Structure 1
Amino acid sequence: MPLYEHVLIARQDLSNTQAEGLIEHFSTVLADNGGKVVDNEYWGVRTLAYKINKNRKGHYAFLRSDAPSDAVQEMERLARLHDDVMRVLTIKVEEHKEGPSVQMQKREERGERRSRDRDDRN
């Protein structure tokens, strides 16, 4: 089955347990349609780059799934209909990386960034 990564942004006025309950809800939607959630992470409340529905912050959640495309489409459809979910992003990936996502890693654990010299662009 194809591998996917999903990011959900929920409204800021939810409690942490309600936001984590959304993760469980959408995990069961995938499971009911023949898929499975390999890993999930709750990233917490983060500031948005721009206002979405008059909200400046949102609860971020990350899911790694192994599911058929029909299950992913159903999960996205239900997420868009859900009042608490503001945005959904789904990306198809070749393989799931082991360990925590980049958002959950400490700065020291991340790899070195490339320099941003103008000469490197040529």
Structure 2
Amino acid sequence: MPLYELVCIAKHHTSLAPLHQLLRSSSALVAQNGGVVRSLDHWGTRNLPNRMKVGKRRGGGGGGEDGAQGRGVGDYWSMRFDCSPPVLSALNTRLRLDPSVLRWTTLKTGARLDQVAADAGESRTVRFARDLPPAAGQGERADAWDRL
């Protein structure tokens, strides 16, 4: 199954209950259809990049239940998961119909978990142009790869 990362902006509410419900329903949809949720991250409340027009069905701009007071801010969160493409389509439909979702995007991070893990491992590898100085208590120079 392909791995995906979903980044979402939801309307800001004074309580976190609507956001928790959105997180629960999104992760449950993936899990109930054979997918695996790898991580859920709440990035906090941040300013919106601009005024978002989402239509009357969603309540206009970025405000929550308290009207104009919550405009201009949103709750940002992300979810890493793997699922089949039909489940991803169902998740996009659910987010499109949810009135508390302002914007979202889904990125395909890789075709398989081992492929993504290998790519991440290569980017964290450090190569030195010269050998490291000798380690304390050893007379010979240590190889850079042994030190990692």
TM-score range, shorter chain: 0.7 to 0.9
Name which of structure 1's ranges 66-75 and 8-17 shifts more when overlaid on structure 2. Answer: 8-17
The aligned counterpart of 1:73 is: 89
Unpaired segments of 5 or more residues in structure 1?
Answer: 99-122
The aligned counterpart of 1:17 is: 17
Aligned positions of 1:102-117 closer than 5 A: none
* Count of aligned pairs: 98
Unpaired segments of 5 or more residues in structure 2?
Answer: 53-59, 63-71, 111-115, 122-148
Give structure 1 regions of 4+ aligned residues with deviation exceeding 3 angstroms.
none
Structure having the higher strand fraction is 1
The aligned counterpart of 2:69 is: none
What is the TM-score when the length of structure 1 is the normalising length? 0.73
On the 8 A contact 1:33/1:70 being kept in 2, the answer is no
What is the TM-score when the length of structure 2 is the normalising length? 0.61
Structure having the higher helix fraction is 2
Q: CA deviation at 1:74?
A: 0.4
The aligned counterpart of 1:48 is: 48
Which letter maps to 2:49? Answer: A
Q: CA deviation at 1:15?
A: 2.1
Q: CA deviation at 1:36?
A: 1.4
